[in-house]
Amino acid sequence: METFKSPRGRVLRAYGDLSLLTMDRMSVFGERIDSDPRIVSLSLTPSPNTAGSWLRSTMPAGAVIVIAQDACDLVGEPSDESAEAIQAWCASAAERGLWHDWYLTNHKDVLKAAPLLTPAEMDSRENNDPSSAHFYAKNESRKAGGKLRIAVDVTWLGPYETGAQVLTTAAINALAQDDRVGELILIGLAELPGYAEFLNTYSHVRITDSSDDSLPADIVWYPNQIDGRSNIADARLLGRRVVTTYLDLIAYDIPRYHGSSEGWAAYRSLQRKIALSVDGVTTISADVAEQLQHEVPLLEAHRVQALPLGLDHITVAQAPEQPDEDLADVMKALAGKRFITVLGNDFVHKNRDFAIAVWQEVLRNGESCDLVLAGLHVKSSSSKEQESAMLKKHTDLRGSVHSVGHVSSASRAWLLNSASVVLYPSSAEGFGFVPYEAAALGTPSTFTNFGPLKEIAQLKDLPKTWSIEAHATDVTRLLTDEAAASQRVAALGEAIRFYTWQRFADGLVEFFQRIAAESPIASSAVGGSDDSAALASVLASRSYRAARKVSRALRRKG
């Protein structure tokens, strides 16, 4: 192993045939690793037809593998310097949504070198899938009027309101106030849940089923990216043009969120085919748009529009003096002590185990405070075991942990308003509402400055990687320095004032008008009923089954 530093000071550990690691290549690797904290491994990978380009992959492969030392705080240390240990470390990083990039080159020394790691099965599979970035890289040398009637799929509006539901309801509310929209036809539900009932007050908003004679509309919009719950073939019956919104590529990137390699491959293939078979794609951040166009190189850029979400849906007036009964036990245990809050289900990429480590470091810094973890335990893609193992060893009397499952909207607002600091350690996001919701309620937050959070928040004084020390230092500062806490809230408040739901709706209607005026996408017939096998695999995946069980459980509680 050999170490070197990137221009911005990230320490990189190099393994494999180190004679290939020339100064020029170290420079290229350093610039790449500095471009995004989610990139934690780089590979020098042979490619006969490529002079030098980067390719996102599911695992490293090549004669030289470089990993970012700072990611070890999040993932842990490799057990040794063997190829197997490096592979295992990178697999653990991938489970947290972190990235592995290949540097493809046709230099003779790289083509002749023995690989430290050969391509993972998923990457080899995608070499032969025309919808994938791998196939494109392998073959890149070859040429390959009036008011709108909008149908909106509201299938995702379950009994409880989380981020996906906020997007749908807030967007419909803003669209309904736009003079360019003549009618909004809601499909996918027989009736709206309580938090969305206010949409019924608009005379031009109505719920119907897919057999409505007034369909197809000018546009059918899927606010939550299409998966096994929707069918592209049927979408053409609902709207003359089909637009879908990609929230993120988290399930696309993380194998653990699927029941098998086959289910993961089917999901990835399905997401690419959907992007190529709809007339327009919106994403909730420019970061997601960039990821999507990287993964689907044939996707025409003019059919993709990044539209950051609105942030003005929560105000201080919405914070209750007391939470609902779901927090009664937590309130009793807190007994008025100050606390840090972590909101979100315990998916691995939400890094609640990392949050515990950060909180423990804050205690070691001399600050007494409790930690409240609020969110459901998911069945098969959870950090619950890691959290439990850490808490069994916790002995610091300066703070205790309180864990609660899903909480009501009122209790969520109370937690965000009453916490001293909100910790949001996620390493894979499409947007990330929580820090802004906390700021709207007057509470500072900390998070890693990456991707969509970096894009929207525009802050410079945040942790730049997933370092326990960096996050703990920032939390401690926010706990002890009132001016720093106020400054963080004020800075996020600037984003809240700029990114409104009306601004989102304005951009969305403009995009709908443009797509409605264009010819249908040439690949609109791709997918549909022929994807039954892929859909079956998605429906059998752990993530989908877990989501269905959670949905049913919440409906029973409701």
- Give the pLDDT confidence score for residue 233 in this predicted structure: 67
- Give the pLDDT confidence score for residue 26 in this predicted structure: 97
295 Cβ contact partners less than 8 Å away, ≥ 6 residues apart: 56, 132, 133, 249, 252, 271, 272
Q: Is 165 helix (H, G, I), strand (E, B) or coil?
A: helix
Stretch 107-123: mean pLDDT, rounded? 96
**Residue 536 and residue 266: Cα distance in Å, rounded?**
9
**Residue 87 and residue 121: Cα distance in Å, rounded?**
13
With CA atoms as reference, report the closest residue to 220 among 246, 247, 190, 241. Answer: 241
Picking from 136-145, 429-438, 474-483, 495-504, which range would have the lowest pLDDT averaged per residue? 136-145
Confidence band for 544, pLDDT divided at 50, 70 and 90: very low
Q: Give bridge partners of residue 555 from the DSSP assignment.
A: none
Q: Give bridge partners of residue 371 from the DSSP assignment.
A: 340, 401
- Give the pLDDT confidence score for residue 397 in this predicted structure: 87
pLDDT reading at 525 higher than 80 = no
- Give the pLDDT confidence score for residue 228 in this predicted structure: 63
With CA atoms as reference, report the closest residue to 354 among 344, 339, 367. Answer: 344
pLDDT, mean over the chain: 89
With CA atoms as reference, report the closest residue to 372 among 325, 397, 405. Answer: 405
- Give the pLDDT confidence score for residue 139 in this predicted structure: 67
Stretch 14-26: mean pLDDT, rounded? 96
Confidence band for 146, pLDDT divided at 50, 70 and 90: confident
- Alpha-carbon Rg for the chain, nearest whole angstrom, is 24
The dihedral region occupied by 335, where left means phi > 0, alpha psi between -120 and 50, and beta the remainder, is left
Picking from 73-82, 163-172, 240-249, which range would have the lowest pLDDT averaged per residue? 163-172
The C-alpha angle 82, 86, 90, rounded to 5 degrees, equals 170
**Residue 217 and residue 185: Cα distance in Å, rounded?**
8
- Helical (H) or strand (E) element with 305: strand 304-306
pLDDT reading at 55 higher than 80 = yes
> Is the CB of residue 12 less than 8 Å from the CB of residue 67?
yes
554 Cβ contact partners less than 8 Å away, ≥ 6 residues apart: 158, 159, 160, 406
The residue whose two tokens read 């491994």 is 41
With CA atoms as reference, report the closest residue to 308 among 198, 449, 170. Answer: 170
User: In whole angstroms, what separates CA 36 from the centre of its chain?
Assistant: 15
Domains and their CATH numbers in the chain: 2-138 (no CATH), 148-310+502-557 (3.40.50.2000), 316-498 (3.40.50.2000)
Stretch 426-441: mean pLDDT, rounded? 95
Task: Tally the C-alpha atoms within 13 A of residue 256's C-alpha that lie toward its C-beta.
Answer: 17
User: In whole angstroms, what separates CA 345 from the centre of its chain?
Assistant: 13
**Residue 187 and residue 209: Cα distance in Å, rounded?**
6
pLDDT reading at 214 higher than 70 = yes
pLDDT reading at 346 higher than 60 = yes
Distance (Å) of CA 181 to CA 150, 189, 215, 312, 506? 8, 21, 16, 22, 11
User: Which value, to the nearest 10 degrees, does the dihedral of the CA atoms of residues 500, 502, 507, 509 take?
Assistant: 160
Stretch 13-23: mean pLDDT, rounded? 96
Pairing of strands 239-246, 181-187: unpaired
- Give the pLDDT confidence score for residue 526 in this predicted structure: 53
Q: Which two tokens stand for residue 154?
A: 């509201």
For 121-136, b/e burial (b = at least 16 CB within 10 A) is ebbebbeebebbbbbb
pLDDT reading at 16 higher than 70 = yes
Higher pLDDT, 51 or 143: 51
Stretch 401-411: mean pLDDT, rounded? 91
pLDDT reading at 131 higher than 90 = no
Stretch 10-30: mean pLDDT, rounded? 97
- Give the pLDDT confidence score for residue 494 in this predicted structure: 96
- Helical (H) or strand (E) element with 542: helix 542-557
Q: Which two tokens stand for residue 124?
A: 């080899």
Helices (H) and strands (E) in the chain, counts: 22, 18
**Residue 168 and residue 123: Cα distance in Å, rounded?**
34
**Residue 132 and residue 268: Cα distance in Å, rounded?**
9
Query: Which parts of 182-327 fold into alpha helices (H)?
Result: 232-238, 250-253, 261-277, 286-295
With CA atoms as reference, report the closest residue to 420 among 476, 375, 461. Answer: 476
The residue whose two tokens read 């992007």 is 275
Confidence band for 527, pLDDT divided at 50, 70 and 90: very low
Which pLDDT tens digit goes with each residue over 360-389?
999 999 999 999 999 988 877 889 889 999
With CA atoms as reference, report the closest residue to 423 among 351, 486, 484, 528. Answer: 351
Measured N-to-C along each axis, helices 532-539 and 261-277 cross at an angle, to the nearest 10 degrees, of: 130
> Is the CB of residue 370 less than 8 Å from the CB of residue 400?
yes
Q: Percentage of the chain with pLDDT > 70?
A: 91
